[in-house]
A and B are shown apart, each in its own frame.
Chain A
Amino acid sequence: MFRKLAGIYNYLKHKSQDYFQSEQPQEEESEQEKVPRDIQKVKQKLAETFADCSDFVLRELKIGDDSQFKVILAYFEGLTDHEIINNGILDPLMIESKKIGIDRRHEGELIQKIKEEIINVGEVGEADTFTRTVEELLAGGTVLYIDGQGTALKFDTTAWEERGVEEPQTESIVRGPREGFVESLSTNISLLRRRIKNANLKFKVLNLGVQTNTDVAIGYLAGIVNEDVLKMVEERVQRIKIDAVLESGYIEEFIEDSPFSIFPTVGSSERPDKVAGKLLEGRVAILCEGTPFVLTVPYLFIEAFQSSEDYYNRPYVATIGRSLRFLALIITAALPAFYVAVLTFHQNILPFELLLNITAAVEGIPFSPFFETLVLGTAFELLREAGVRMPKPIGQAVSIVGALILGEAAVEAGIASHPIVIVTAVTAITSFILSPLLEPLIFIRLFLLVAANTLGFMGMGLVIITIFVHLVNLKSFGVPYLAPFSPLSGMDLEDTLVRFPLWAMLTRPRILAWREEEGEKYRLDANLIKKEE
Chain B
Amino acid sequence: MIEEAKISGYQLGMLIVGFVFGSSVILNPAAVAYQDAWFAQLLAWLGGFVLLGLYVAIYLLSPEQNLIETLREGFGKYLGSLIGLFYIWYFIHLASLVFRDLGEYMMTVTYTETPLVFLIISFSLPIAYLVKSGIEAIGRTAEITIFVIPISVLITVVLLIPNYDFNSLQPFLEEGLTPVLEGAFNNLSFPFGETVIFLMLFPALNEKDKLIKASSLGLFVAGVLLITITLRDIMVLGSNIFRRAIFPAHLSTTLLPAEIDQLIAINWLLGSGAKITVCIYATVKGLAELFKLNSYKLLALPTVVLAVGLSLWSFDDLIGLLRWSSEIYPYYALPFQIVIPVLLLIILLFKRYLR
- A–B contact with Cβ pairs below 8 Å: the answer is yes
**Residues on B with beta carbons closer than 8 Å to the beta carbon of A469:** 126, 129-130, 133, 137, 141
Q: Does A478 contact B (CB under 8 A)?
A: no
Interface of B is mostly: helix
> CA A192 – CA B265 in complex, angstroms?
51
Interface size, B (range): 20 to 34
Interface 1/0 per residue, B105-126 and A, CB below 8 Å = 0100011001000010011011
8 residue pairs bridging A and B, Cβ less than 8 Å apart: A346-B110, A349-B260, A349-B262, A456-B110, A458-B269, A466-B125, A485-B143, A488-B143
Q: Does B263 contact A (CB under 8 A)?
A: yes
> CA A472 – CA B138 in complex, angstroms?
9
> CA A484 – CA B225 in complex, angstroms?
27
A349 and B263 contacting across the interface, CB-CB below 8 Å? yes
> CA A470 – CA B265 in complex, angstroms?
23
B residues 220-273 in Cβ contact with A at 8 Å: 259-260, 262-263, 265-266, 269-270, 273
Chain A residue with the shortest CB-CB distance to B134: A473
Check A459/B122 contact, CB under 8 A, given A349-B260, A472-B144, A486-B140.
yes
> CA A466 – CA B259 in complex, angstroms?
26
B residues 72-114 in Cβ contact with A at 8 Å: 106, 110-111, 114
**Residues on B with beta carbons closer than 8 Å to the beta carbon of A349:** 259-260, 262-263
**Residues on A with beta carbons closer than 8 Å to the beta carbon of B110:** 345-346, 456, 458
Q: B114, B119, B141, B265: which has the most chain A beta carbons within 10 Å?
A: B141
**Residues on B with beta carbons closer than 8 Å to the beta carbon of A512:** none
Residues of chain A touching chain B, judged by Cβ–Cβ distance below 8 Å, are: 345-346, 348-349, 455-459, 461-462, 465-466, 468-470, 472-473, 480, 482, 485-488
Q: Does B163 contact A (CB under 8 A)?
A: no
**Residues on B with beta carbons closer than 8 Å to the beta carbon of A470:** 129
**Residues on A with beta carbons closer than 8 Å to the beta carbon of B270:** 461, 465
Residues of chain B touching chain A, judged by Cβ–Cβ distance below 8 Å, are: 8, 10-11, 106, 110-111, 114, 119, 122-123, 125-126, 129-130, 133, 137, 140-141, 143-145, 259-260, 262-263, 265-266, 269-270, 273
Check A457/B111 contact, CB under 8 A, given A472-B141, A482-B144, A487-B143.
no
Q: A461, A472, A473: which has the most chain B beta carbons within 10 Å?
A: A472
Chain A residue with the shortest CB-CB distance to B144: A486
**Residues on A with beta carbons closer than 8 Å to the beta carbon of B130:** 465, 469
> CA A345 – CA B11 in complex, angstroms?
34
With A348-B262, A349-B259, A488-B8 given, can you name 17 additional A-B contacts, CB distance below 8 Å?
Answer: A349-B260, A455-B111, A455-B119, A456-B111, A456-B262, A458-B122, A458-B265, A458-B266, A461-B270, A465-B270, A466-B125, A472-B140, A472-B144, A473-B133, A485-B143, A486-B141, A486-B143
Check A465/B111 contact, CB under 8 A, given A455-B122, A459-B122.
no
A487 and B140 contacting across the interface, CB-CB below 8 Å? yes
Partner of A488, one of B10, B114, B129, B263: B10
> CA A458 – CA B265 in complex, angstroms?
8
**Residues on A with beta carbons closer than 8 Å to the beta carbon of B111:** 455-456, 458
